[in-house]
Amino acid sequence: MSFDLIIQDIYNQVKEAQDNGKVASYIPELLNVNPESFGIYFSANNQVRYGIGDCGYKFSIQSVSKVFSLSLAYSLKGEDIWNRLGVEPSGTSYNSLIQLETDHGIPRNPFINAGAIVITDILISCLPNYRHDFLEFVRKLSGVKSINYSAKIAVSEKAVGYRNIALCNFIKSFGNIENNPEEVLDFYFDICSLEMSCEELSNSFLFLANQGLNPHSNEQVLTKSQSKRINALMQTCGFYDESGEFAFKVGLPGKSGVGGGIVAVHPGEYVISVWSPKLNEKGNSFKGMQFLEKFTTESRLSIF
C-alpha cells in the first residue's frame, strides 16, 4: 500500500476514535483553537508529498521549536554547547526543577524547558539580531517567508510563565545563564510562539532526514554527524517523560509541543507531522500519538 493510502486510512480511523485528551489550558491563548482540528503532512526525501485534514492550518508549534533553536545554536557553536547542557533523558517532566538542583544548573538535555532556555541564552550571546536571525533560519529551513512569531501567544504565555521564570533564574543562580534572565525569557517565549502548519513543519524538518542538508536551499545546515546527533536526541529526549514510550510504540525520532503538534523523522527517508490540539496526560497530542503508532506499524517503517 502506498504512503498516501496508509495515511488516509489511519487518518480516518483516528479521526473517528474517541479522544480522551484535553487542550492545553496553561497558556490562555492556546485555548482559542478548534479542539477537533486534525491534520497530517508527509514529506519524503524523494519529493513525495502528501497532506490531509487541517495540514495547511497554522498552529502554535511551542516546543517543536526547540529543535530549530538547538539546530541553530549547534551550527553556530558546535560541540561547545555541550559544556552547558547534557544529552541524557531526564526521567522527569518537562518543567521539573529537581534535577537542576542536584545537577548544579546543567540541564539534562536541550528539549526540556531548562535546556531550551540555556540554548536561547547561547543564541542571544552570539547573534546580534537574534529575533530576526532565528526567524530567518526557520524561514530558510521551511522555504516559507511568511512564518512568524505570534505576539499574542508570547504575551499570553509570559503573563503566566512563572515556572519558566523560576527555571531561568534558578539556572542563572548556578551561573549557567549569561544574559539578563528577562531578556532570555522574552526570546524564549517568542521562539515558542512560532506559528506553522503541518506542511511547513514537515518541509522544515527535511534537513534532518537528509543528513543536515536543506533540500530547499541546498545548504548544509548541520554536518552529517550533527544531524545524526539531533535525531538521536529527539529519539531519547523528544517527548519528555514519554520519550521511551514514543520510541517503544512509534520508533522514530520526534518532537512534540503543547500546541498539539508532533514532528517525526525517519532519517534518510521522510518527515511526518501531525497536529491535533487535545493532549494526553504527559502533554503530547492524544491523536498524534495514536496516528504515529499506527503509521509505523502499518507502514513497517520504524528505525528499529
Quote the CA–CA distance of 53 and 59 in Å, as a whole number: 14
- Among 4, 29, 183, 241, the residue binding its own copies under the rule CB under 8 A is 241
Stretch that binds its own copies, among 38-46, 48-56, 61-69, 86-94 (CB under 8 A): 86-94
The count of residues interacting with its own copies (CB under 8 A) is 54
Single-letter amino acid code for the residue at 35: P
Q: Which of residues 31-60 bind its own copies (CB under 8 A)?
A: none
From the list 139, 130, 212, the residue with the least C-alpha distance to 179 is 130
Three-state secondary structure call for residue 213: strand
Residue whose CB is less far from its own copies, 86 or 215: 86
> Is 233 near its own copies (CB under 8 A)?
yes
- Among 90, 156, 256, 280, the residue binding its own copies under the rule CB under 8 A is 90
> Is 172 near its own copies (CB under 8 A)?
yes
Q: How far is the CB of 245 from its own copies (least distance, A)?
A: 6
Three-state secondary structure call for residue 38: coil
Three-state secondary structure call for residue 295: helix
Quote the CA–CA distance of 65 and 50 in Å, as a whole number: 22
- The cell for 257 is 509541543
- Among 1, 34, 248, 298, the residue binding its own copies under the rule CB under 8 A is 248
Q: At 227, phi and psi to the nearest 5?
A: -60, -45
Q: Is 271 a catalytic residue?
A: no
- Among 173, 217, 281, 298, the residue binding its own copies under the rule CB under 8 A is 173
> Is 97 near its own copies (CB under 8 A)?
yes
> Is 197 near its own copies (CB under 8 A)?
no
Q: Supply the angle between the helices 65-77 and 224-237 in degrees, to the nearest 10.
A: 140
- Among 109, 120, 203, 280, the residue binding its own copies under the rule CB under 8 A is 109
Q: How many alpha carbons fall within 13 Å on the CB side of residue 247?
A: 16
> Is 283 near its own copies (CB under 8 A)?
no
Let me know if 183 is exposed, middle or buried by CB neighbors in 10 A (0-12, 13-18, 19+). middle
Cell numbers 492545553: residue = 24
| Residues in touch with its own copies (CB under 8 A) | 86-92, 96-102, 108-109, 162-163, 165-170, 172-173, 181, 224-225, 227-229, 231-233, 235-237, 241-245, 247-249, 251, 253, 267, 297, 300, 302-304
What residues are labeled active site? Answer: 63, 66, 188, 240, 258
